[in-house]
Structure 1
Amino acid sequence: MGRTTQSLYFTGPRELDVREEPLAQPGANEVLIEAVVSGISAGTELNVFRGYAPQWRQHMDPATRLFSATEDPDWKWPARYGYTLVGRVAERGSAVTHLRDGDLVFSYSPHGAHAIVAANAVVPLGDLANPELGAFFANFNTAYNGVLDAAIPLGADVVVSGLGVIGQLATRLVKRAGARRIIAVDRLAPRREAARAGGATHTLDPATDKVAETVRELTGGRGADVVIEVSGAAPALNEAIRTAGYNGTVVAMSWYGGTFESLQLSGEFHHNRTRIISSQVGAVNPMLGPMWSVARRGEIVRELMDLYAADLAGFVTHRIPLAQAGQGYRLLDQGAPDVLQVIIDYRK
């Protein structure tokens, strides 16, 4: 038998399996990455893990970008998923000249001990001191993209709803963008404390605080200029609409999984002329013009990762080996209060 690797498979709703399978050779324009760590996303990946992602039931037409019900959905069990793999180049194809063996790189590859990817698709991480921090590259892009979509004016009053990793990063970037008040909202006290440390001027618990009313008290009755909604919870999106002031903006950064029982558009949304923006990381705000690209955004994110290295290191709460990946998903699925970023560590 030739060489093998271990890969994580989603085999059904909330079901995982680590499988040993053959490890191929990289093609001429590919590299073989030996994984060091990968991060479990508490948003998108949980939708996949729970079976909520629409691709399990629907097909997206790439031409029209419309989803439709089908008996032949885009995804079928078992499937691999994940997009935050950090590792070192172990082998290079004959045409790869811009990378060297041993280079630390990021790849949007599924969880597994190895990945073979196109060499021009990996992100060199350079002299990043702690490889774990590289696992935040994708989420940092998402957070930064949302702040770019929000177009926050200097001195704005901004609410960040949902203080997982992306919400924590958004809080810090909103501060950097020059917001006057940053009101961070989450049910979990440790996350509210982390947001305070990252620049939030006020924190609210939606279980006990009336968010929309309190924000108006804090802003002289106006409401928020911008609400960045990152929780992925339908009630939070409705409350974000209530929280935005007249002509205010709600940036919906989440991939809302499952069913959405009630989107309330008859009250504040209509009468306050609220604008809702979907922020999806696949493209940059077109209002920034042609000089802004996904590649340029990534270059800036790599610099920001160095600036916020201490914060990123503090976000990692759990490290688990690949064989115990299910434990990490269950912790996130159950909403354990002490969990923020779970890292799969292939060195274990």
Structure 2
Amino acid sequence: MQAQTMVFERKQHVALISQDLPQMQPDQIRAHALCSLISTGTEGICFNRMFNEDSHWATWVRYPFRPGYSWVGRVTEVGSDVKDIAVGDRVAARRGHASEHILSDSEVVKIPDEVASDQAAWFALAKIAAMGAKVAEYHLGDDALIIGAGPIGQMSLRWAYAAGCRNVIVVDPISKRLGAAIDGGATSVIDQPVAGIESAVRGILGGELPDIVMDTTGHPAVFSEALRLTRDFGRMVLIGDTGHPEQQCLTSDLLRKGLHIVGAHDVHNTPQWNTSTISKLFFSLIKQGRFNMQNLNWHVFKPAECSKVYQMISERRADTMGILFDWSDQ
């Protein structure tokens, strides 16, 4: 049996190809795709090869490269050893854009009936943002500044809101993103570039700077601005993964203000905090109405339109938020 699979065959070239599926084992399931969400930041960097060739990105992006890691499907077959998953269940998996996958039962998370598939598809980006929330060590009443209102920024501000932050300020020069930020729990938004916003931030916080600043952008120039905007002895969390880390510069703010800088990454899993545990929490918060996922998916495309999609990400990323591939009729 074959599946339709998306691949980057070389820089700035994507194709939809047919690929043989492996033989299903007793502890595996077969699932047909419903939708998959593009990680516009990560996949844009990979598609355009916007990274140093001696970076971890170059080690990862080898051709043919299979993009995507936010996949939702419906189970069509289960192996004899699978106990907790049934045919007809919807599942989320960290797999690439494809019409079908053979999956270990341990790598999927069941999606509750109350959670729509197009919202569940955000589970992987919510998980990445949750790694930032974990190391941010939010306390009730903290003031947080989230730099960037793209997909990771949207999930990051929602974790800060769910964690009980008093003020969740979001800054992004792309004003159309900020409506979704307010829907998600942002208490204040600033629609301008991060450089030069200190007075605006202090105005919101009664003359103070935030306890936690989170850089979700992946733009190296933001790093030094984030340090400038963090209060004395505060915490600056770096979650945006740039392809050019040599352009991120420390400033005197680190020593002068006694700052804590901590990095957060998708691979920082523990037995207690990983894709499975975070996804289940994410789905629970959606069910409870504590994670507003409305108005985040701005575009839906058929897989055959993949060339147009990645061109749009490359040329007009500011016009995008959630981009879904709809696999339902493949």
TM-score by length of 2: 0.90
Matches within 5 A, 1:280-319: 280-283=265-268, 292-294=272-274, 295-308=276-289, 311-319=292-300
**Partner residue in 2 for 1:19:** 17
Matches within 5 A, 1:11-50: 11-50=9-48
Match status 1:337 vs 2:318 = yes
Aligned residue for 1:37, secondary structure, equals: strand
**Partner residue in 1 for 2:7:** 9
**Partner residue in 1 for 2:262:** 277
Aligned residue for 2:185, secondary structure, equals: coil
Of 203, 217, 224 in structure 2, the residue corresponding to residue 231 of structure 1 is 217
Q: CA deviation at 1:231?
A: 1.1
**Partner residue in 2 for 1:262:** 247
Aligned residue for 1:244, secondary structure, equals: coil
**Partner residue in 2 for 1:52:** 50
Q: CA deviation at 1:8?
A: 0.4
Give the Cα separation in 2 of the matches to 1:99 and 1:43.
32
Aligned residue for 1:98, secondary structure, equals: coil
**Partner residue in 2 for 1:63:** none
Matches within 5 A, 1:1-348: 3-52=1-50, 57=53, 73=59, 75-207=61-193, 210-257=196-243, 259-260=244-245, 262-283=247-268, 292-294=272-274, 295-308=276-289, 311-348=292-329
Give the Cα separation in 2 of the matches to 1:208 and 1:270.
21
Alignment RMSD (CA, Å): 2.5
Q: CA deviation at 1:205?
A: 2.8
Give the Cα separation in 1 of the matches to 2:146 and 2:289.
18
The C-alpha deviation readout for 1:72-114, integer Å capped at 9, x for no partner, is: x454211212111100111222322321111100111111101
Q: Look up the equivalent residue of 2:186 and give its one-letter code.
A: A
TM-score by length of 1: 0.86
The C-alpha deviation readout for 1:269-289, integer Å capped at 9, x for no partner, is: 2211221111113335x8xxx
Q: CA deviation at 1:241?
A: 0.9
Quote the sequence identity (%). 26
Q: CA deviation at 1:221?
A: 3.8
Whether the 8 Å CA contact 1:58–1:74 is kept in 2: the answer is no
Give the Cα separation in 2 of the matches to 1:111 and 1:95.
27
Whether the 8 Å CA contact 1:213–1:243 is kept in 2: the answer is no
The C-alpha deviation readout for 1:110-135, integer Å capped at 9, x for no partner, is: 11101112111111113145221221
Q: Are residues 177 and 132 of structure 1, via their aligned partners in 2, closer, same or farther at CA, if it must alter by over 3 Å?
A: same
Whether the 8 Å CA contact 1:86–1:135 is kept in 2: the answer is yes
- Any gaps of 5 or more consecutive residues in structure 2? none
Q: Are residues 7 and 208 of structure 1, via their aligned partners in 2, closer, same or farther at CA, if it must alter by over 3 Å?
A: closer
The C-alpha deviation readout for 1:206-243, integer Å capped at 9, x for no partner, is: 33872233323433443111001111111222211110
Q: Look up the equivalent residue of 1:86 and give its one-letter code.
A: V
Q: CA deviation at 1:303?
A: 0.5
Give the Cα separation in 2 of the matches to 1:188 and 1:314.
16
The C-alpha deviation readout for 1:264-312, integer Å capped at 9, x for no partner, is: 323222211221111113335x8xxx8x332433321220232359832
Give the Cα separation in 2 of the matches to 1:335 and 1:309.
31
Whether the 8 Å CA contact 1:8–1:80 is kept in 2: the answer is yes
Q: Look up the equivalent residue of 1:276 and give its one-letter code.
A: I
**Number of residue pairs matched by the alignment:** 328
Q: CA deviation at 1:53?
A: 5.5
Give the Cα separation in 2 of the matches to 1:112 and 1:18.
9
Whether the 8 Å CA contact 1:31–1:89 is kept in 2: the answer is yes
Give the Cα separation in 2 of the matches to 1:203 and 1:46.
26
- Any gaps of 5 or more consecutive residues in structure 1? 61-66
Q: Look up the equivalent residue of 1:267 and give its one-letter code.
A: S
